[in-house]
Chains A and B, each alone.
Chain A
Amino acid sequence: MNCAEFQKALPEFAEPQRDTALQAHLRSCSDCSLLVSDLDSIVAAAPSLAASEDPNPQIWLQLEAALKNEGLIRQPAAPLLVPPPQEGRGWRLSWALPVAAAVALTIGLLVYRPSTHQNLQSTGKTAVTEPAAAVQTAAATNAGINEDQDLLEVVGTQSPTMRAEYAANLKDVNAYIRDAEDAAKANPDDEQAQESVMNAYEQRSMLYEMAMDRSLP
């Protein structure tokens, strides 16, 4: 079997290494062996693209509105009202949570704006700014955990089911933020990676907005 015959037969075999004739050619041909190895790497990486992206939280709001219009949602979802302002906590949360989300988004903008990052690197200020960015990120992470707990507390007072849903959503979006930040750090010149970070922070901010929209009387 020569290379042309091997490559012609290749599409038929999910695992060419298991076919005796193909296996014999693979052992003797480094080019075809490299080809199979590369294709295996692509196939191995492909499943990582499944379920890898979080949709914009607005999609659910639009879908929910469409379901209500069509009469498919017959019972209104339990309203997640902010608890009455006993001991002054409710009113504080009603403004503090959106503000916290906005702060998180702003931190995302400050830390990961690519042009800023590149400009600072080019002026030799990296050594000063990177630890500062790390401190900002760590502070943002700690603040984020507290904000999430506050939000879940408010949501949970009205509906344990929705609390679990929001907890899962926050977990997803925080994981998305971490992934995006890791990718951005690994590829500081990659604009798409930087956009992913911004997108991740925006999604977190939208989650907060959705929770607060539901909570308003």
Chain B
Amino acid sequence: MTGAIKSQSGRLTEAEAIERAKQGDGEAFEVLYNLHKRRVYSLCLRMTANTAQAEDLTQEAFLQLFRKIGTFRGESAFSTWLHRMAVNVVLMHLRKKGLPVVPLEDTMETDEDTTKKEPGAQDASLAGAVDRLELQRAVEALPPGYRSIFVLHDVEGFEHNEIAEMVGCSIGNSKSQLHKARLKLRDALKKHRAEKAKR
């Protein structure tokens, strides 16, 4: 994400806001918050599928960021730094709640279970584009571990090696669980479309 452009109306750039925030400037904090709030909040909401928790975690992520902003030296992009911090806040929260941050290791099902056909649902294709709203619902309905992997990789763009490091699993596990998450989403989307077609 690029920083704010200093416009004719006097809007601060991201770099200026960071420097002023290090001095304790309230406006600068607000500028940084406004620049990144959507991305952080959306991440928290997707990972938890719970509005109240997402709001608390957004606040916590920014609070941690602003506590540590004095140590930011600009080696990485500010948005990358913040984003990584937000992911860690959410993962910590999930762990505290006892929710799996990576899918439980195939205790309940096998690949065959995940891909097996359901009568009347699996034969049809999704046929083209997937609507954001229907995908959002399907993601919310995923079990927490699958949801984390899918959001981190496909929504937020983290690589498997980064995910493996963050959630504490192998790269191979991250890949296979992502695949299963996508298969579950495919099933859910088809089921939803089939129900919609019946109405």
Which residue numbers of A lie inside 8 Å of B, CB to CB?
7-8, 10-12, 34-35, 37-39, 41-56, 59-60, 62-64, 66-68, 70-78, 156, 159-165, 167-169, 172, 183, 187, 190, 192-193
Contact = CB atoms under 8 A, between A and B. Distances in A.
A49 B46 contact: yes
B187 to A, nearest CB: 10
Nearest to B23: A74
Given A42-B185, A172-B38, A60 B133 contact: no
Q: Is the interface of A mostly helix, strand, loop or mixed?
A: helix
B3 to A, nearest CB: 13
Contacts of B55: 55-56, 59
A215 B130 CA distance: 44
A50 B130 CA distance: 15
A110 B13 CA distance: 40
A55 B129 CA distance: 27
B191 interface: no
Interface residues of B, number: 60
Interface of B: 7, 9-12, 23-27, 29-31, 33-34, 37-39, 41-43, 45-46, 54-55, 58-59, 62-63, 66-67, 111, 115, 125-126, 128-133, 135-137, 139, 150-151, 154-157, 175-176, 178-179, 182-183, 185-186, 189
Nearest to A39: B182
Given A75-B25, A159-B27, A192-B133, A49 B139 contact: yes
28 contacts: A37-B126, A41-B126, A45-B129, A45-B135, A47-B157, A49-B46, A49-B132, A49-B135, A50-B39, A51-B38, A53-B42, A53-B45, A54-B38, A55-B58, A59-B37, A60-B30, A60-B33, A60-B37, A63-B63, A64-B30, A66-B59, A72-B24, A72-B66, A77-B27, A78-B27, A161-B12, A165-B31, A169-B34
Given A50-B39, A50-B156, A160-B9, A63 B26 contact: no
Nearest to B130: A45
Contact of A42 (B12, B39, B111, B186): B186
**Which 3 A/B pairs are nearest by Cβ-Cβ distance?**
A74-B24, A77-B26, A11-B179
Nearest to A159: B27
B27 A42 contact: no
